[in-house]
Amino acid sequence: MNSEIKAQWHKSIQEITKQNWQSILGNETIPFFHWDWLNTLETSESISSKYGWQPIHLTLWDKKKIIAFAPLYLKNHSFGEFIFDHPFVELANHLGLNYYPKLIGMTPLSPVEGYQFFISQEYCKRQITKIMMNYIDEFALKNGILSCNFLYVDEQWKQYGESANCLCWINKQSLWSSKGEENFDDYLQRFNANQRRNIKRERQSIQKAGLNISILNFDQIDLEILEMMYYLYSSHCKKWGYWGSKYLTKDFFINLFNCEIKDQIVLFNANRGNIKEPIAMSICLANNNMLWGRYWGSNEDIKNLHFNLCYYSPISWSIKNGINQFDPGAGGQHKARRGFEAKPCFSLHRWYEKRMESYIKEWLKKVNDLTIQQINASNNEVPFKKKQIDLL
């Protein structure tokens, strides 16, 4: 290891200046790894040790210059990850091991692909990844941590993590991809005739209910609108009781107003003529290439409103704005029939107990092949041209 390269651990992102953090990210990055987004999660206490998310970010320095960082969290539960590790919990219990706390690398509360160790372009990613992994190993062993888990990893960075002896677990996510359509009617041509009719009926039902869907960009988004978004999100979560997964506080939505990433927010607002009196809203984030659907809520139970606000309107907006891909968020029950194809997403795992690692390594060989088969089967249900993924 280069004797000039040193690591630092940080219990808050505010211990790392925004200038240093963003100097590594650059301009064209996923908004969920922007300093402002992660800082807003922390300062709003949506993410905190109180709720089982202790920030423990790792930075790497060459003398006094930051050269890399990894967003990391110590967790004492598995909520808010969307990679369901219950089999690992059961195995640890069976072996008499303490599964928690565990070390997690991801953008919290969002199943967003793209996690990696963010490394200055001046340095070798493979080499720096191994150096950072060594520091993580040292930290885990010193503190009695059973595992380190990197979720929804960037596909290009995945090779560096695997070369540092991480095990890969394949899961499934949904994605809409542009095929060069110029409008939503072009998109409908992908479908068979029966599903085209179904989608048209679902979209027309919103007009028959007397609703408009307005699209609000950053210059139309004020504090009042963001507070309404929280109210709708909160109300939606309450409908599911304990399982509602209400993670974000009101302060999170309010603080977004003063964030640099505010200009990447897109709100889809269902109303009866006044955007200040929304019936429902969904909040998305975008960069130049991709749109991510995140949270939604409604104060009326209107048939097909969710599909229109969270699927069809974002797809139409993406086509109009030259966005190549739309990630609608977790879950896939209703997405295949509406044109979202399944694709593999990858997480990398590191275990610090030999029995645990050995059992999981054998289990992953079987489950990864099974997941690819399930992805292919799911895409065969999409009512347009099929896409086959080869087994690994």
* Dist. CA 227–CA 234, nearest whole Å: 10
Residue 244 in this model has a pLDDT that exceeds 60: no
* Dist. CA 5–CA 328, nearest whole Å: 40
Contact between 126 and 80 under an 8 Å Cβ cutoff? The reply is: no
pLDDT in tens, 119-128: 999 999 999 9
Tell me the mean pLDDT in the region 212-223.
Answer: 94
* Dist. CA 193–CA 122, nearest whole Å: 53
pLDDT in tens, 251-310: 999 999 999 999 999 999 999 999 999 999 999 999 999 999 989 999 999 999 999 999
Under 8 Å CB-to-CB from 344, ≥6 apart: which residues?
Answer: 170, 171, 172, 173, 371, 372, 375, 389
Question: In the chain, what are the domains?
Answer: 5-172+343-379 (3.40.630.30), 179-323 (3.40.630.30)
Tell me the mean pLDDT in the region 57-84.
Answer: 96
pLDDT in tens, 3-31: 689 999 999 999 999 999 999 998 768 99
pLDDT bracket for residue 242 (50, 70, 90): low
Interhelix angle for 86-94 vs 354-379, to 10°?
150
pLDDT at 383: 78
Collapsing DSSP to helix, strand or coil, 169 comes out as strand
Which of the 8 DSSP states describes residue 157? H
> Does an H or E element contain 212, and which?
strand 212-216
Helical H segments across the chain, by residue range? 18-25, 35-43, 86-94, 125-142, 155-163, 184-188, 193-208, 223-238, 250-255, 305-307, 313-320, 354-379
pTM equals 0.94
Residue 392 in this model has a pLDDT that exceeds 60: no
Tell me the mean pLDDT in the region 373-392.
Answer: 72
pLDDT at 150: 98
* Dist. CA 30–CA 47, nearest whole Å: 19
Does a cis peptide bond (omega within 30 degrees of 0) precede residue 108?
A: no
Tell me the mean pLDDT in the region 125-141.
Answer: 97
Residue 386 in this model has a pLDDT that exceeds 60: no
Structure tokens at 379: 């895409």
